[in-house]
Amino acid sequence: MVDRARLLDTFKRLVSIDSLSLGERQMADCLSAAMQKLGMSVKEDGAGVKLGGNAGNLHAFLPGALELPPLLFCCHMDTVTPGIGKKATVHEDGRITSDGSTILGADDLSGVAAILEAIQAMRESGKPHRPIEVLFTVAEEIYCRGIAQFDAAALKSKQCYVLDLTGPVGTAASCAPCILTFEVAIHGKPAHAGFAPEQGVHAIRAASAAISRMELGHVGDRMTVNVGMIDGGSARNIIPQRCVVKGEIRSFDQAQATAQLEEIFACFRDAAAELGASADTEYERVSAAYTVDEAHPSVLRHKAACEKLGLPFSFVPTHGLSDYNALYGHGLRGLVIANAMEKCHSTEEYTTADELERIASLVLELMTSRD
């Protein structure tokens, strides 16, 4: 059985460590020491150097007595802002929050704490278990840049569980979208806005005209489109020569996303041409869409573990990106599972002591399963 008090102490200690994306050094050192203390071999890769950060991904392995294929458990070490000076407060009703000035960091430290507690409880019990792999990644919150640098050939596992989903423990993601990011640079012509505005070509106006023609938000029931950043102009009294627009598309259908991207680029090219400007476009496929096979052994194992622990199992779609997208692309199959975190990416983020205990117990059950 998991030790609830120890689990809460571990979670609070992890929360107190600042670990913004690309600044995970202290967290990586803490987790590396903790896993080595648990008898695991730990390696750190060079992702931090490649990304301009100060720490790499941690890959750990624990041999098992059961002659079964290994399982990989994955979480990310980084948090979003505001995440400096976090402190976890456990309230009388078991709810755990920050002081309201920062995020809590349950995304994804509840999962990290659950994995550490499950391994410790497993070793204390002496219960036989299969080989266990753990991957703690950096820079997940910035489009999973950390795991993109990880050499997946180092993994022994073919099945995995990524702890990085909101909802009651027992929930698992049934599918996730592809994500296309795009950037458009509009090139106009500068002129003095007071003396000769007619001699200029207004790049921001062209960008605005294009955006007004786009479908934003939900586009149908399987896709979202967003323009998130606009930057342009050099001074208040100069017709802007350049404007850069950045956005993204998320869709459960890759072909649909590609078609929508072409429509967006057409909007910018047409709007620019009408005003005498030009548009340069580029995009990146950040992740591929996936759908989970409900008959896969990783799903059946998760369902059986939930049933044994009395947890309600449910499959839900997610519009989010996780490290599983990259692992899926490398041929691993498994699930993204809920890990006791709610209202993530906000100062209202919270977890509960009961849910932390549930996710640690679920991880322990998965690690010791003979299925």
Tell me the pLDDT tens digit for each residue of 217-227: 999 989 999 99
The pLDDT assigned to 13 comes to 98
Same domain for 190 and 165, yes or no, is: no
Confidence class of residue 342 from pLDDT cuts 50, 70 and 90? Answer: very high
pLDDT digits (tens, 9 = 90+) for 9-64: 999 999 999 999 999 999 999 999 999 999 999 999 999 999 999 999 999 999 99
DSSP H stretches of helix in the chain = 4-15, 25-37, 47-51, 106-125, 145-148, 203-213, 254-274, 297-309, 323-329, 353-368
Same domain for 257 and 132, yes or no, is: no
Same domain for 43 and 126, yes or no, is: yes
Give Cβ neighbours of residue 255 (< 8 Å, ≥ 6 apart): none
What's the whole-model pTM score?
Answer: 0.91
* Three-class DSSP labels, 9-39: HHHHHHHCCCCECCCCHHHHHHHHHHHHHCC
Q: How far apart are CA 244 and CA 223, in angstroms?
A: 23
**Exposed / middle / buried, residue 39 (Cβ in 10 Å: 0-12, 13-18, 19+):** exposed
Same domain for 276 and 297, yes or no, is: no
Confidence class of residue 144 from pLDDT cuts 50, 70 and 90? Answer: very high
Q: What average pLDDT does the segment 302-328 reach?
A: 95
Q: How far apart are CA 234 and CA 51, in angstroms?
A: 30
Same domain for 302 and 267, yes or no, is: no
Same domain for 97 and 49, yes or no, is: yes
Same domain for 252 and 267, yes or no, is: yes
| pLDDT > 90 fraction of the chain, expressed in percent and rounded | 97
Single out the residue of 173, 150, 167, 218 nearest to residue 322, CA to CA: 173
Same domain for 318 and 362, yes or no, is: yes
Q: Note down the domain range covering 74.
A: 4-174+290-368
Same domain for 21 and 121, yes or no, is: yes
Q: Write the CATH number for 48.
A: 3.40.630.10
Q: Please give the biggest Cα pair distance in the chain.
A: 83
User: Among 287, 309, 342, which residue terminates a domain?
Assistant: 287
User: Among 258, 287, 316, which residue terminates a domain?
Assistant: 287
CB 265 within 8 A of CB 301: no
| Residue 293 CA: distances (Å) to CA of 80, 156, 335 | 31, 21, 10
Single out the residue of 230, 182, 226 nearest to residue 208, CA to CA: 230
Catalytic center residues: 78, 140
Relative to beta strand 95-97, strand 71-76 is unpaired
Q: What average pLDDT does the segment 157-164 reach?
A: 98
Question: Is the confidence at residue 171, as pLDDT, over 90?
Answer: yes
pLDDT digits (tens, 9 = 90+) for 259-284: 999 999 999 999 999 999 999 999 99
Q: Write the CATH number for 200.
A: 3.30.70.360
Same domain for 92 and 222, yes or no, is: no
Q: How many domains does the chain fold into?
A: 2
The pLDDT assigned to 221 comes to 86
What does the mean pLDDT of the chain come to? 97
User: Among 287, 320, 346, which residue terminates a domain?
Assistant: 287
Give CA angle at 173 (151, 76), nearest 5°. 40
Same domain for 260 and 300, yes or no, is: no
Give Cβ neighbours of residue 250 (< 8 Å, ≥ 6 apart): 177, 178, 179, 223, 224, 257, 319
Confidence class of residue 242 from pLDDT cuts 50, 70 and 90? Answer: very high
Question: Is the confidence at residue 152, as pLDDT, over 90?
Answer: yes
| pLDDT > 70 fraction of the chain, expressed in percent and rounded | 100
Single out the residue of 77, 74, 43, 292 nearest to residue 154, CA to CA: 43
Same domain for 158 and 47, yes or no, is: yes
